[in-house]
Amino acid sequence: MATALHNLSDYDVESVPSAEGMRFGIAVSEWNKEVTGALLQGAYDTLLRHGARAEDITVLTVPGSFELVYASSRMVRSERFDAVIAIGCVVRGDTPHFDYICQGTTQGLADLNREGHIPVIYGLLTCNDMEQAEMRAGGMLGNKGDECAITAIRMVDYGRRLDVAEK
């Protein structure tokens, strides 16, 4: 059953809490830079649009997607951020490399979330080809960077509400 393509990044702007006073770390892979650059721009612009200040957003680049785990872990341990967004793009090739990178990165980021210090947002595109990646990096299907930023804002807000409820 075929479905019509639509922008998956559409959201109700009014439903997003203010990002004012929130601090974000963004770890972004240099590999497939044309895609990760667009994802980064989407995330950055969305954070600003919802009230984050530029000085409260720190962007660090790493060589590839696998290194997002290390960078995200260091950002979490720095205690400088309320949330970390990990942005990368892996495109399937002819070897099992794709599977290992995707699995290792996914598991590493999941482990950081399980630790529960701050939310680590999964912004890793895992695509069969470059066309799929481009469609999700500002193309016909929206920009997953936008979605990651919205998720980060909502998760920080969620954590703050839990902190208040626990008092």
Q: What is the pLDDT of residues 37-91, one digit of tens each?
A: 999 999 999 999 999 999 999 999 999 999 999 999 999 999 999 999 999 999 9
- Are the beta carbons of 52 and 20 closer than 8 angstroms? yes
Active-site residue, 97 included: yes
In the prediction, which pLDDT does 9 show?
67
Look at the pTM and tell me if it is higher than 0.85: yes
**Domain membership flag for residue 4:** no
**Domain membership flag for residue 100:** yes
Which member of 6, 50, 97, 117 is catalytic? Answer: 97
**Domain membership flag for residue 11:** no
**Owning domain of residue 65:** 22-166
Strand, helix or coil for residue 85 = strand
Average pLDDT, the chain: 92
**Domain membership flag for residue 62:** yes
**Domain membership flag for residue 9:** no
Q: How many CB atoms lie within 10 A of CB 26?
A: 29
Mean pLDDT, range 151-158, rounded to an integer = 96
Kindly report, residue by residue over 76-97, the tens digit of the pLDDT. Answer: 999 999 999 999 999 998 888 8
What CATH number is given to the structural domain containing 40?
Answer: 3.40.50.960
**Domain membership flag for residue 157:** yes
**Domain membership flag for residue 35:** yes
Domain count, the chain: 1
